[in-house]
Amino acid sequence: MNYLSIIVPFAGGLGMFIYGMQIMAQGLENAAGNRMKSLLEALTKNKLMGVLLGAAITAVIQSSSATTVMVVGFVNAGIMNLTQAMGVIMGANIGTTVTGWLVSSVEWAKVLSPSTLAPVALMIGVVIMLTGKRRSSKEVASIIIGFGLLFIGISTMSAAVDPLRESEGFRSLFVTLGNNPFLGILTGTVVTAIIQSSSASVGILQSLAAAGLVPFSAAIYIIMGQNIGTCITAILASLGAKRTAKTAALMHLLFNIIGTIIFSVVAIVYFKLINVAAGTGVITQTQISLVHTIFNIGTTVLLFPASNWIIRLAKKLGRVKEGEQEKSTVLLDERVLETPSIALQATVKEIDRMGKIVEESLLVAKNVLFAPKEQDIRFLREEEKTVDRLCAGITDYAIKLSSLQISEKEHQEISHLLQIVSDMERVSDYCENISEFAETIMERKLSFSDTGREQLQEMTEVCVDSYLYAYKAFQENDKDRALRVVEKETQADALEVQLRTRHIKRLANNQCEAEAGIVFLDALVCLERISDHARNIAEEVLEGIA
């Protein structure tokens, strides 16, 4: 038998299958876009909701590996906690069975046979690709073309291995795998780990089943091994990530290993003691899809009540305390860039966190001029360093995001976000400047006149309020608060001119200390600039709403 004539077309068919699956998934993902974002927003600590979400997303993108890599990225970025991640991981195992049902549809829906449907799908997809002008048309074309390529790939693989029907050696190999559960599981694990796709691995098994080569028992053990092998992608993705993200990948591995152990014991007892003949019968493509689905749903149902225990075990093995992180660490993961709509949401969340730090600084700066304390001055300087690091990291991430294939609306939103980040960072700079004025007051034992103190406090209230309104407007996309900022900034401008004029008169009349007077004027400038940047933030929010 010429094995080269089998291996070459089989490899080509596998490549076409994987490529078709990828471009179909990419088209579905792009079309889903904001819907996936909405699904993520709906995610709560309720693990059942997480299971449904994980199944839905995996069914769309046709890859449990991609979903779990996404989860690792979300955990690393702080978007998702381990409880939420556990639910999505369980759901991903269910969602990944969809590809198997697509492949086996050639058996239970004859009209979907590759020889009939694939060429038609490719032709329709190409026509839409060439004639469609809108982006949505291109995405639909990608879905249809990917569907056609996937079917041609599985057809090519099945045809390539058909001569192996006559190979006693190949048949004996599968009989051995069926008789030895460990070897069967190991084979499924290794093959899936190498190609990093359980869907593709199941597709290979189904193409062999179409040639009548796979015994029932061997298929079951290989399917169980495939579920373990698919964990390698998430484990590789967690390398270099935080311990919490590594723990998420570990949870995925533990979940699949425990499920495999449970169902392996059941299968061994059944095939060895109860119904020996059942294990030797040849399995069909549809039966593989059914076994794959029952195994993954069954594992989820069995282990769902024990999921908190799995989380605790993973934490213990990963030596992690959830929530531990440096304040200045940018919680944005480049793995999430593979899903731009969700990466954009992550960016907004990180800017929100940065804005909160600036708010805390501003509230300290509000009082530090009138009651300067060493710890407050030190706090403001440290917070400024934190904000600088966050600003640099967020800006770099947003620029990478803007270089991806995203909609014009998303490009505009990123532009608004970059400006908001810059303005927040400038507010933090002015808080540090105020801390320097406070240090001067403390070291030289300066004091403002009663009138000067009252006027500076009035200016401080107006300018701090302008930022607080702007930050809230950003958080809630609130037009009314944004318009309130514009009013506050106009008030701050007029007040700055008025107070400057009055203060210069006091200086001329020797009604206040000269050095304290200089600090007063410098503080006025800083506060007025804070209100300017608050207005900039508000205007970006208003433009975004419009």
Distance CA 318, CA 243 (A): 7
* Alpha helices per DSSP H over 162-211: 168-179, 181-195, 198-210
CATH of the domain at 502: 1.20.58.220
- Is 504's pLDDT higher than 90? no
353 and 299 both lie in a single domain: no
26 and 104 both lie in a single domain: yes
Least confident of 81-95, 459-473, 475-489: 81-95
- Is 327's pLDDT higher than 60? no
Is residue 531 included in any domain, yes or no? yes
Is residue 325 included in any domain, yes or no? no
Q: Which domain holds residue 461?
A: 334-545
- What is the token pair recorded at 135? 């982006």
pLDDT at 320: 60
More confident of the two residues 155 and 412: 412
Distance CA 137, CA 140 (A): 5
pLDDT at 158: 66
pLDDT at 493: 92
106 and 214 both lie in a single domain: yes
Overall number of domains in the chain:
2
SS3 content of the chain, % helix, strand, coil (to 5): 85, 0, 15
- What is the token pair recorded at 78? 């702080």
- For residue 459, which amino acid is it? M
64 and 90 both lie in a single domain: yes
More confident of the two residues 80 and 406: 406
278 and 338 both lie in a single domain: no
Q: What are phi and psi of 9, to 5 degrees?
A: -65, -30
Whether 222 and 169 have beta carbons less than 8 Å apart is answered as no
More confident of the two residues 414 and 35: 414
Q: Indicate the burial class of 263 (C-beta count within 10 angstroms; 0-12, 13-18, 19 or more).
A: buried
362 and 301 both lie in a single domain: no
Q: What are phi and psi of 124, to 5 degrees?
A: -60, -45
Please work out, in degrees rounded to the nearest 5, the angle formed at the alpha carbon of residue 318 by the alpha carbons of 312 and 321. Answer: 65
530 and 398 both lie in a single domain: yes
Distance CA 66, CA 38 (A): 19
- Is 234's pLDDT higher than 90? no
Distance CA 27, CA 400 (A): 21
3-state SS of 57-114? HHHHHCCHHHHHHHHHHHHHHCCCCHHHHHHHHHHHHHHCHHHHHHHHHHHHCHHHCH
Q: What are phi and psi of 282, to 5 degrees?
A: -75, 135
Q: What is the rounded average pLDDT of the residues 516-544?
A: 91
Whether 37 and 345 have beta carbons less than 8 Å apart is answered as yes
pLDDT at 204: 79
Is residue 329 included in any domain, yes or no? no
pLDDT at 300: 92
Distance CA 376, CA 441 (A): 13
- What is the token pair recorded at 494? 């007029």
272 and 387 both lie in a single domain: no
226 and 359 both lie in a single domain: no
* pLDDT tens digits, one per residue of 239-271: 766 777 788 889 999 999 999 999 999 998 988
Where is the domain boundary, 286, 318, 350?
A: 318
What are the CA-CA distances from residue 107 to residues 9, 17, 96, 480, 493 (Å)? Answer: 22, 18, 19, 60, 75
* pLDDT tens digits, one per residue of 122-181: 888 888 888 877 767 777 888 788 877 877 876 777 677 667 666 666 567 666 776 788
Task: Output DSSP code: residue 284.
Answer: P
Is residue 308 included in any domain, yes or no? yes
* pLDDT tens digits, one per residue of 441-457: 888 888 888 888 898 89
Distance CA 50, CA 224 (A): 23
Is residue 233 included in any domain, yes or no? yes
Where is the domain boundary, 260, 291, 318?
A: 318
* pLDDT tens digits, one per residue of 332-379: 877 778 778 778 888 998 899 999 999 999 999 989 988 888 999 999
166 and 60 both lie in a single domain: yes
Is residue 323 included in any domain, yes or no? no
- DSSP sequence for 108-137: H-GGG-HHHHHHHHHHHHHHHHHH--SHHH
Least confident of 23-27, 134-138, 383-387, 410-414: 23-27
- DSSP sequence for 316-332: HHHT--TT---TTS---
Q: What are phi and psi of 448, to 5 degrees?
A: -90, 155
313 and 338 both lie in a single domain: no
Task: Output DSSP code: residue 337.
Answer: G
pLDDT at 62: 62
Where is the domain boundary, 291, 318, 345?
A: 318
Whether 481 and 473 have beta carbons less than 8 Å apart is answered as yes
- Is 402's pLDDT higher than 70? yes
52 and 96 both lie in a single domain: yes
Is residue 197 included in any domain, yes or no? yes
What's the length of the chain? 546
What are the CA-CA distances from residue 213 to residues 12, 171, 205, 397 (Å)? Answer: 20, 6, 9, 50
Is residue 526 included in any domain, yes or no? yes
Q: Is 197 helix (H, G, I), strand (E, B) or coil?
A: coil
- What is the token pair recorded at 134? 């809108």
Q: What is the rounded average pLDDT of the residues 481-489?
A: 93
Residue in the block written with tokens 């933030």: 537
Q: What is the rounded average pLDDT of the residues 53-75?
A: 74
pLDDT at 349: 87
pLDDT band at residue 309, thresholds of 50, 70 and 90? very high
* pLDDT tens digits, one per residue of 313-323: 988 887 765 54
Write down the pTM of the prediction: 0.62
* pLDDT tens digits, one per residue of 199-209: 777 877 887 88
